Chains A and B, each alone.
Chain A
Amino acid sequence: MKLKVESLKFKVKSYGVIFLFIFSLLAVHCSLATAADKWPGVDESVVEKYAKEHGREAMTPLINTDQGDLLLFVFLLAGSVGGFVAGYYWRELIVKGQRDDSCEKQKIKT
């Protein structure tokens, strides 16, 4: 029991250190990125650049969500829904799937 508590404490500490490390790196990176203000996507730096050179330009999308913070909102929404769906099906496959299999095995044994 004591050993379990100690290992749990160690785990919490190590994850705390990892989190702080990632957070500090992210903070440094964000400040540098803001200073440089340059992280174009390859669609901009490659696709649209060469298309423009050859007289083709991107048109406004049918439903234009690329307006202010609206794009951030739809990306956040899409990420949340996508993450929920992935988590739900992961649970269906791994947790429930394993449980169902073990039940079936027990039935066969009995």
Chain B
Amino acid sequence: MRIKVSKFKVQSICTALLLLLPVCEAHAMHISEGILPFDWAALWTVIAIPFVAYGLYKLKKLSAIDLSFKPLVGLMAAVVFIISCMPIPVPTAGTCSHPCGTGISGILVGPAISILITAVALLIQALFLAHGGLSTWGADIVSMGVIGSFAGYLTFRGLRALKANLWIAGFMAGLFADWATYLTTSVELASGIKGDSPFMPLFWKILIAFIPTQLPLGILEGAMTAGMVVLLYKKRPDLLVKMRVLKPKEAI
């Protein structure tokens, strides 16, 4: 008897293995309460607020036009919330971290609404999960929400414009969304804690320290993002057309 192991089964086994591995405590990249000095924390919050406000405006506008938009936003909110508080052990580094989920939300609901979703997820995590902080909420929104969402969205759109297939574009979007988030976290952290010492050496030190964990996790996030985009393409191509992820002729 020939046993045909489908690609999907192999992918699902790999994903299940990675998801089942968390046996460590729930710690992640969010900048914890009190790490950033008040002036820096306030600056990042001031930067984040217009993006969140625009996301709210955009959500109201789009949901008034199309009712099927709300379930997609709800799904993305749950996905971002779960993914961004899911610690994944990285055996090569011996540490735990989490993907961000903003790549997929940036692609599917657009960066503005993705920022709003991230802000809500981060607020719940800071309030009830001892994950991030209220004073560092703005900094976390900027790194994960603003930069992550835009990096994912722009990478996906750019690659699709260059005729890359859906899987490759989704993978690269997830990968860059993750890496860009941690790059921004390094900037925020280095600028906040540097004191009198120079910025660049500290920035490089932090960024290099993130690499052993985030390099493989970025690849995992890329695979997850690509998998979700392809799955939605198979199940509801019309939805991707509606969200302008695909052109109508590509959905046939």
Chain A interface residues (CB < 8 Å from chain B) = 14, 18, 21-22, 25-26, 29-30, 33-34, 36, 38-51, 54-66, 71, 74-75, 78-79, 82-83, 85-86, 88-90, 92-94, 97-98, 101
Contacts and interface: CB of A to CB of B under 8 A. Distances in A.
Interface in B154-202: 185, 189, 192-195, 197, 202
B75 A54 contact: no
B189 A47 contact: yes
B180 to A, nearest CB: 16
B245 interface: no
Given A29-B21, A62-B134, A18 B82 contact: no
A82 B82 contact: yes
Contacts of B75: 85-86, 89-90, 93
B95 interface: yes
A46 B77 contact: no
Contacts, number: 178
A59 B34 contact: yes
B78 A89 contact: yes
Nearest to A95: B235
Contact of B87 (A34, A41, A57, A60): A41
A6 B187 CA distance: 58
Q: Which of A26, A54, A60 has the most chain B CB within a 10 Å cutoff? A: A54
Interface in B64-114: 68, 71-72, 74-75, 77-79, 81-82, 85-87, 89, 94-97
A41 B3 CA distance: 40
A48 B35 contact: yes
A41 B20 CA distance: 17
Contact of A22 (B17, B86, B193): B17
Contacts of B213: 42, 46
Contacts of A14: 3, 9
B205 interface: yes
A86 B96 contact: no
The majority secondary structure among interface residues of chain A is helix
Nearest to B36: A56
B241 to A, nearest CB: 12
A82 B17 CA distance: 20
B236 A63 contact: no
B127 interface: yes
B31 interface: yes
Interface stretch (B22-30, B45-53, B55-63, B218-226): B22-30
A25 B235 CA distance: 32
A60 B33 contact: yes
Interface string B220-252: 000000000000000110110000000000000
A89 B82 CA distance: 14
Contacts of B13: 18, 21-22
Given A34-B23, A39-B25, 15 more contacts: A14-B9, A18-B13, A29-B23, A36-B94, A38-B94, A40-B24, A41-B97, A46-B210, A50-B202, A58-B33, A59-B33, A59-B133, A62-B33, A65-B129, A97-B239
